[in-house]
Amino acid sequence: MNEIHKLYRQLQQQLPGLELRLDEPMSRHTTFRVGGPAALMACPLQTEELVEAVKLARAWEVPTVVVGNGSNLLVDDKGVDAFVIKTVPQFGACDVQGEEMTAQAGILLSQLAIRAAEAGLTGLEFAHGIPGSLGGGVTMNAGAYGGEMVQVVRQVGVLCPDGTVETWEGERCEFRYRHSAFSAGTHLVLWAKVGLKPGNQEEIREKMRDLAARRREKQPLDFPSAGSTFKRPEGHFAAALIDQCGLKGLRVGGAMVSEKHAGFVVNVGGATCSDVLHLMDEIRQRVFQATGVELEPEVRYLK
Ligand SMILES: Cc1cc2nc3c(=O)[nH]c(=O)nc-3n(C[C@H](O)[C@H](O)[C@H](O)COP(=O)(O)OP(=O)(O)OC[C@H]3O[C@@H](n4cnc5c(N)ncnc54)[C@H](O)[C@@H]3O)c2cc1C
């Protein structure tokens, strides 16, 4: 029996309520619909379960990775030889206190934005159309249409590598463009508190409708993808560079540069991770040759 199976047995015994899956296809948990199996997956519903599961995995020296909604993930075709903890939307209790909202990591950003609108709080409209979880959004410092998580995150509940749980102020989270102190995967986001401002409910809803319409118009939402494939290079836009190089429609297997938005690689049917990686390599090479700009992936590659 290997360490993963030993961990599985111990988790079954010590955390009987915890949902566990062996060899769970990650294609079911990524918006790209790509990826081989996770050796072991758990979907905790309580903070204590998540913390305990991570501690046990560390005791068995089993590598552990926390994922949210899988909307920025590219998982290898061979899968992930690790313990994958998925923060599901049910791990997403949310509490509104005055102008602040505190929620567990699994809540979807869309839901959090809707809760803010219901409470008459403005500041999260930008996040309504980002198809990630709060934990993933904080980790990626997700942003759109002038908004970014750094602008609203006040505190984060952090699971540290030694198993302790700390509360970090926003300033400690090292937020930069699509980066945070959590990007390295050593410190995990358990919950976050966002600070918003009182606003007019109808205006908040109208802004969310407007941004949704802009997304539908510009983005290839009919195809599986992981959003923008590359980060915005300093002084440029990745999509404009890719378009300028005539790469819209460029295809490797089932992976294609979207005809609608060159910044997206889409799965047009049966794409493998290898297809996506080859296409991304091709895009980077051609853009570099033509423009001298190096594109850096925004999607996180997991293997
Ligand atoms: C159609 C589409 C549109 C998109 N539009 C935008 C956009 O406008 N702006 C934008 O910024 N992004 C966008 N994205 C990308 C993606 O939605 C964001 O990056 C989102 O924040 C990822 O959240 P997630 O829960 O899906 O994270 P995942 O994809 O599951 O994970 C992303 C990374 O965060 C880590 N992680 C996840 N949860 C935790 C946690 N609790 N603690 C520690 N680490 C964690 C993972 O290990 C991984 O490294 C888009 C994606 C799609 C498919």
Residues in a beta bridge with 144: 147
Residue 1 has pLDDT above 70, yes or no: no
CATH number at residue 106: 3.30.465.10
Q: Does one domain contain both 10 and 60?
A: yes
Q: Does one domain contain both 117 and 54?
A: no
CATH number at residue 291: 3.90.78.10
pTM for the whole structure = 0.97
Q: What is the DSSP annotation of 33-95?
A: ----EEEEEEE-SSHHHHHHHHHHHHHTT--EEEESS-TTEEE-TT-EEEEEEE--TTS--EE
Q: Is 284 within a domain?
A: yes
233 to 62, 220, 294: CA distances (angstroms): 36, 21, 8
Domain that holds residue 17: 3-86
Q: Does one domain contain both 189 and 274?
A: no
Tens-place pLDDT, residues 275-295: 999 999 999 999 999 999 999
Residue that is written with structure tokens 């309520």 in the block? 17
Q: Is 63 within a domain?
A: yes
Number of domains composing the chain: 3
Tens-place pLDDT, residues 144-182: 999 999 999 999 999 999 999 999 999 999 999 999 999
Residue that is written with structure tokens 């410190």 in the block? 187
Q: Is 210 within a domain?
A: no
The values of phi and psi at residue 3, to 5°, are: -60, -35
**Pocket-forming residues, ligand 1, beta carbon under 6 Å:** 31, 65-73, 87, 105, 130-133, 135-137, 139-140, 142-144, 182, 185, 188-189, 219, 221, 225-227, 300
Q: Is 71 a catalytic residue?
A: no
**Domain boundary residue, one of 86, 114, 136:** 86
CATH number at residue 61: 3.30.43.10
